[in-house]
Amino acid sequence: MSDLLKITNLKIEAVRENRTKEIIKGIDLTLKRGEVLGLIGESGAGKSTIGLAAMGFCRPGCRIVSSSSIIFDGFEIMNATLAEKQNLRGTRIAYVAQSAAAAFNPAHKLIRQYTEGPVRHGIKSYPEAKKEAQALYKKLLLPDPDNIGYRYPHQVSGGQLQRAMVAMAMACKPDIIVFDEPTTALDVTTQIEVLAAIKKVTRELNTAALYITHDLAVVIQLADRIMVLRHGNLVEEGTSKQLLEAPREQYTRDLLSVRTFQKQVEDPGENKTPILEVQNLTASYRKNTPNVLKDINLKITRGKTIAIVGESGSGKTTLARAIIGLMNPKKGKILYRGKELPYALKRRTKDELRHLQMIYQLPDIALNPRQRIQRILGRPLEFYFGMKRSQRKKRVKELLDMVELPAKFINRFPPELSGGEKQRICIARALAAKPEIIICDEVTSALDQLVAEEVLKLLQNLQDELKVTYLFITHDLATVKAIADEIIVMLLGSIVEQGPREIVFNPPHHEYTELLLSSVPEMKLDWLDELLKSRREKEAARGNGKKFHDIESYLAVSN
C-alpha cells in the first residue's frame, strides 16, 4: 500500500530580520493509512513545526524551504495554492491543538464550531453535522452529549473541551489528524480520558495520526511507530516496542531513563519538633464564596521535603500563598517554630520573611528581564543582611557556584539564559536569604524532563548540604516520587491523605490517591488498555454507577 503522507527532505527556516535559521534540518517521514506515528522530543525539537508542515502550514516568521516535498495521497502540497490547501485542511487532514481553551473561539458555541468545518466545506448540512456531533460527543463520554454543544467554551472543563476538540477534528472524517500535545495541559486523571478518547476514535475510523508530545510514556500507549527528534534532526526511529526495549541512541536512553532519580530514604525514626505547622486553616477568595481551603492541618519537620500533590483546583497553590503571607485566610494558625505568624506579609518581621522563601513555576515571569543577575541576587543580600557592594559580589558568586552556574553569569540578563538556568537563578535568589523553608510551586513543570531532573537533583544536593526544608507543590507524581519525604494529597481544598512517602505510595491507598497514582502513564506497552480495562471492570463490579473520573465522589468517601 502506498503511503498516505510522504514527507521528504523537509527543511524549515525561521526568518528574522533578514537572517534565516534552519529549525528543521531535512526530515523524512511517512505515514500509512490508519497508522499512528509519534513525534517526540523536548522543546525546540521542531515537532509541532513538522506537524503543521504536514498540513502545508507554517507559523508566521517561518517558511518551508522549496526543495522540501510533502506529498499527501499523491498530491504535492508544496505546489498547492492556498485555496487548494484550505480544501484539504479540516476535511482530509485535521488538527488538534495543545490548549483547547485557547483554540476554541470564545465567542461561539461548541456545536457551531464543530459544524463549521463540514458545513463550510459542503460535506454535510447543518442538521446532519449537528446530529453527528451529538453522537460523537456521546462516544467520547462527554456528559449530556445532546446539549453540551450548546455551551460556550468557557462553560466546559478543560478535559471535556479537549475531547470536544478531538470530536471537532473528526467532524469531516479526515484521513490524518495531527495531535499537537493534546494532553500536556491536563491533569493526569483527565489525561487518561482524553487519551482513551483519542485511541477509540482513531481505531474505529481507521484514522492515521501524527501524535506530537514530549512524554514518551504517553506516546507509547498510542503510537505504532515513534520518531525521536532533537534540534530539528531525527535521532532515531522505530516501532514503539523497539524503542522501548532496545533504543539505539544515547539520547533516547536518556529520555527513557528520566524519572529514575530518587531520593534516598532517610531514617524516619527521629521525630523532631516541627519547624512549620498549619492548624485548621480555612480560606476563601472573597466573602460568601465557597472555601478553597477547608480546615487544613499539617506539620513540617526541618530538613525534610514535604510534597503537596493535587490536581488543578485542589487548593495547593492557595495553601502556599496563605503560608507565605500573600493571602489572608479566614481562620486558622500558621506557626513557625511554635510561634504564630501574622497572616499578612506586611506584618511579618524581616526575619520571619527571610526564613520563608518561594520559587515559582515560571522563571521567565519571576525574574525581571531588565536586571542583571548581580542585581537580582544582590537585592535580598542587601535587604536581609545589609551587605556592602564588594561583599555582595563575593556572595553572589558563591550562590552561583551553589546552583552550579559559572561566575561569569553575574553580568548577564535573564533572557540570555535557558529555562533551566533561569530556574537555577530563582533557586539562588531564594537561597540568598538563607531560608529555613523554601516553598517550591511547580518549579519543574515548565521545564523539559531532562532539565527538570537536573534541577531536582540540585535541590536535593542543596538540602543535603544546607538542611533546608522544602514544601513542594506539584501535580506531577513522578516529581513527588523522586524527591518527597512526606506527601500530602489534596482534593478540592481538603487533605485526603498524608504521611511518609512509603506509606502513601504503597497500598492500601485512599481511593483518590489510588486514582492519581494509577493515572500516571507508565513506560509500558498496553498500559493504557490494561488500565482502562481494569477500571471498567471495577466500575461494573461496584455497580453503583460511580465513574472513575467523577472527582467529587472521592471527597464524599473521605468525609
Partner 1 sequence: MNKILNMVLKRLGLGLLTLVIVSMLIFIGVEALPGDITEAILGQQATEETVAAFRKELNLDLPAHVRYSQWLYGIVQGDFGMSLANKQPIGEMIGWRLSNTLFLAVTAACICVPLSLILGILSALYRNTPFDRIVSMTSLSAISFPEFFVAYILIALLSVQFNIFPSMVTLDEDMSFFQKIYEVFLPCLTLSIVVMAHMMRMTRAAIINVLSSPYIEMALLKGIDRRRIIVEHAFPNSLSPVINVIVLNLAYLIVGVVVVEVVFVYPGLGQLMVDSVAKRDLPVVQSCGIIFATTYIFLNLTADILSRISNPRLLYSN
Q: Does 87 bind partner 1 (CB under 8 A)?
A: yes
Q: Which residues, 6+ apart, have CB-to-CB distance to 310 below 8 Å?
A: 316, 475, 489, 490, 491
Cβ-in-10-Å burial (0-12, 13-18, 19+) of 74 comes to exposed
Choose the stretch contacting partner 1; rule: CB under 8 A; options: 151-159, 248-256, 333-341, 529-537: 151-159
Query: Nearest distance from residue 108's CB to partner 1, in Å?
Result: 7
Q: Does 104 bind partner 1 (CB under 8 A)?
A: yes
Dihedral of alpha carbons 192, 263, 268, 282, sign: negative
Roughly how many angstroms between the first and final C-alpha of the chain, as a whole number?
58
Give the whole-angstrom CA distance, residue 220 versus residue 91: 27
Q: Does 90 bind partner 1 (CB under 8 A)?
A: yes
CB nearer to partner 1: give 97 or 148: 97
Choose, by CB under 8 A, the member of 121, 231, 375, 510 that binds partner 1: 121
Query: What is the grid cell recorded at 295?
Result: 480546615
Give the whole-angstrom CA distance, residue 234 versus residue 158: 32
Q: Which residues, 6+ apart, have CB-to-CB distance to 81 below 8 Å?
A: none
Query: Nearest distance from residue 94's CB to partner 1, in Å?
Result: 7
Q: Does 396 bind partner 1 (CB under 8 A)?
A: no
Q: Does 389 bind partner 1 (CB under 8 A)?
A: no
Q: Does 152 bind partner 1 (CB under 8 A)?
A: yes
Query: Nearest distance from residue 389's CB to partner 1, in Å?
Result: 44
CB nearer to partner 1: give 108 or 542: 108
Query: Nearest distance from residue 118's CB to partner 1, in Å?
Result: 10
List the beta strands (DSSP E) in 417-510. 437-441, 469-474, 486-491, 494-500
Choose, by CB under 8 A, the member of 41, 46, 117, 182 that binds partner 1: 117
Query: Nearest distance from residue 507's CB to partner 1, in Å?
Result: 38
Cβ-in-10-Å burial (0-12, 13-18, 19+) of 154 comes to exposed
Choose the stretch contacting partner 1; rule: CB under 8 A; options: 5-13, 100-108, 251-259, 548-556: 100-108
Q: Does 14 bind partner 1 (CB under 8 A)?
A: no
The residue count for binding partner 1 (CB under 8 A) is: 31
* β-bridge pairing 36-40 and 208-213: parallel
CB nearer to partner 1: give 59 or 536: 59
Q: Choose among 136, 139, 190: nearest CA to 162.
A: 190
Choose the stretch contacting partner 1; rule: CB under 8 A; options: 22-30, 147-155, 218-226, 547-555: 147-155
CB nearer to partner 1: give 88 or 402: 88
Footprint of partner 1 on residues 419-458 (CB under 8 A)?
Answer: none
Q: Choose among 33, 35, 45: nearest CA to 3.
A: 33
Query: Nearest distance from residue 178's CB to partner 1, in Å?
Result: 8
Q: Does 120 bind partner 1 (CB under 8 A)?
A: yes
- Pattern of binders to partner 1 over 472-511, x per CB under 8 A? ----------------------------------------
CB nearer to partner 1: give 312 or 418: 312
Peptide bond into 414 cis (omega under 30): no
What are the Cα distances from residue 245, in Å, to 212, 238, 240, 253, 465? 21, 11, 9, 10, 38
What are the Cα distances from residue 187, in Å, to 158, 194, 311? 9, 11, 6
CB nearer to partner 1: give 156 or 520: 156
Give the whole-angstrom CA distance, residue 193 versus residue 191: 5
Q: Does 182 bind partner 1 (CB under 8 A)?
A: no
Q: Which residues, 6+ apart, have CB-to-CB distance to 550 below 8 Å?
A: none
Q: Does 546 bind partner 1 (CB under 8 A)?
A: no
Q: Does 16 bind partner 1 (CB under 8 A)?
A: no
Query: Nearest distance from residue 197's CB to partner 1, in Å?
Result: 18
Choose the stretch contacting partner 1; rule: CB under 8 A; options: 152-160, 241-249, 279-287, 356-364: 152-160
Q: Does 235 bind partner 1 (CB under 8 A)?
A: no
Q: Does 162 bind partner 1 (CB under 8 A)?
A: no
Give the whole-angstrom CA distance, residue 116 versus residue 532: 33
Structural contact between residues 526 and 539, judged by C-beta atoms closer than 8 angstroms = no
Structural contact between residues 11 and 65, judged by C-beta atoms closer than 8 angstroms = yes
CB nearer to partner 1: give 101 or 466: 101
Q: Does 312 bind partner 1 (CB under 8 A)?
A: no
Give the whole-angstrom CA distance, residue 244 versus residue 527: 13
Footprint of partner 1 on residues 55-84 (CB under 8 A)?
Answer: 55, 57, 59-60
Q: Does 184 bind partner 1 (CB under 8 A)?
A: no
- Would you tell me which residues interact with partner 1 (CB under 8 A)? 52, 55, 57, 59-60, 85-91, 94-95, 97, 99, 102-108, 116-117, 120-121, 152, 154-155, 168
